[in-house]
Structure 1
Amino acid sequence: MVTKEEVENVIRKVVDEKFVKSIEVDEKGNVTVTLAKDTPNIDDVLIKLHSELGKLEGVGTITINREREVKAEENVELSEELVLEKLKEVIDPEIGIDVVNLGLIYEVKVRPDRTVYVKMTMTTPGCPLTMWILRAVEDKVLEIPGVKDAEIELTFDPPWTPDRISPEYKKKLGLY
């Protein structure tokens, strides 16, 4: 079983401790780290931190959160449609199509506590931009006024295929 001290030692090697807001290690070895919202080079830090923590013996699930400002709840009617529209702003940089029209979003739920759950996939399990896209999806959901938190689940079941691309974009890509 991994210890909190082992986790803290790895984290100190990757990011300045002034940017680490909290570290939790539960009895199953699951690690949750919260970083300051102003952590420099956050994309690089997220990838390196995930990679280095994954090398520790006994580590379970690794969750890396970023601190965020909690906005006062606004009178915005949260809906799955609103979330999907916002997620159209996340463009897969390799393909040039947003994650919704690309068919990467499998499920969206707006929970009563105003937490938004998104189940999604990548075009391939080895996609080098996975962490970047997941973070971009989380950021866009959290930009929606009234959203309390975002939970993004990555799955490869079922695997993505080009059949999941929206009809509009299939035409644009010449797949029809």
Structure 2
Amino acid sequence: MLTKEEVEKVVKGIVEDKFIKAIEVDERGNVTVTLAKDTPNIDNVLIKLHSEIGKLEGVGLITVNREREEKAGEGQNVQLTKELILERLKEVIDPEVGLDVVNLGLIYELEIRPDNTVYVKMTMTTPGCPLTMWILRAVEDKILEIPGVKDAEIELTFDPPWSPDMISPEYKKKLGLY
């Protein structure tokens, strides 16, 4: 069974102690690491953490969060909607394909929780996508830019695997897939 100590050893080999805010490991081997918002070289750190933690025996879902300051009065009287969030996520373009993550069909599930945390379950076009961490971070950042959002939780899944059938009908026409 995966232990917190095993995960801590890996994380501390990649990130200085002062940037590690929390490490959690549940009974299913799911790992959550929370880093300081000012962690240097965050893109490289995210990729390295996912890669190295993923090598541990018994690891499940890996979530790496960044600490976020809550501004006074933030989120009061703001009505978050799925439509608003999806519109913002259309600004996140997969650089290899040239389409946004919504019309590409990468967003599988979107939920706004009562505390205004936004949960997104999404996928990549391939499990080996070299831009996975960049796209996940871009989705998180875009959600966190929306006034009223308390936090963003992004879950990566490959079940079901992505296929071109998941592209929106509008974009299938533009791409000549109809």
Q: 100, 104, 127: which is aligned to 1:98?
A: 100
TM-score by length of 2: 0.87
Question: Any unmatched runs of 5+ in structure 1?
Answer: none
For the Cα contact (< 8 Å) 1:8–1:23, is it kept in 2? yes
Name whichever of 3-12 and 93-102 sits farther off. 3-12
Name whichever of 77-86 and 6-15 sits farther off. 6-15
Please report how far the alpha carbon of residue 88 of structure 1 lies from its aligned counterpart in structure 2 after TM superposition. 0.6
Please tell me the residue identity of whatever aligns with 2:97.
Answer: I
Q: Secondary structure at the match of 1:137?
A: helix
For the Cα contact (< 8 Å) 1:74–1:145, is it kept in 2? no
Please tell me the residue identity of whatever aligns with 2:169.
Answer: P
Between the aligned partners of 2:160 and 2:2, the Cα distance in structure 1 is 32
- Residue by residue over 1:107-142, the C-alpha shift from the partner in whole angstroms, topping out at 9 and shown as x without a partner, is 222222212122222212222222221221111111
Tell me the residue number matched to 1:53: 53
Q: State, as a whole percentage, how many aligned pairs show the same letter.
A: 81
TM-score by length of 1: 0.88
Please tell me the residue identity of whatever aligns with 1:59.
Answer: V
Between the aligned partners of 1:174 and 1:20, the Cα distance in structure 2 is 47
For the Cα contact (< 8 Å) 2:143–2:149, is it kept in 1? yes
Change (3 A) 1:173 1:26: closer
For the Cα contact (< 8 Å) 1:32–1:63, is it kept in 2? yes
Q: How does 1:56-67 map to 2 (within 5 A)?
A: 56-67=56-67
Between the aligned partners of 2:53 and 2:86, the Cα distance in structure 1 is 32
Please tell me the residue identity of whatever aligns with 2:56.
Answer: L
For the Cα contact (< 8 Å) 2:112–2:118, is it kept in 1? yes
Question: Any unmatched runs of 5+ in structure 2?
Answer: none
Please report how far the alpha carbon of residue 27 of structure 1 lies from its aligned counterpart in structure 2 after TM superposition. 4.1
Between the aligned partners of 1:7 and 1:157, the Cα distance in structure 2 is 25
- Residue by residue over 1:126-172, the C-alpha shift from the partner in whole angstroms, topping out at 9 and shown as x without a partner, is 22222221221111111111112222222333332222222332333
Please report how far the alpha carbon of residue 102 of structure 1 lies from its aligned counterpart in structure 2 after TM superposition. 1.1
Tell me the residue number matched to 2:174: 172
Please report how far the alpha carbon of residue 25 of structure 1 lies from its aligned counterpart in structure 2 after TM superposition. 3.0
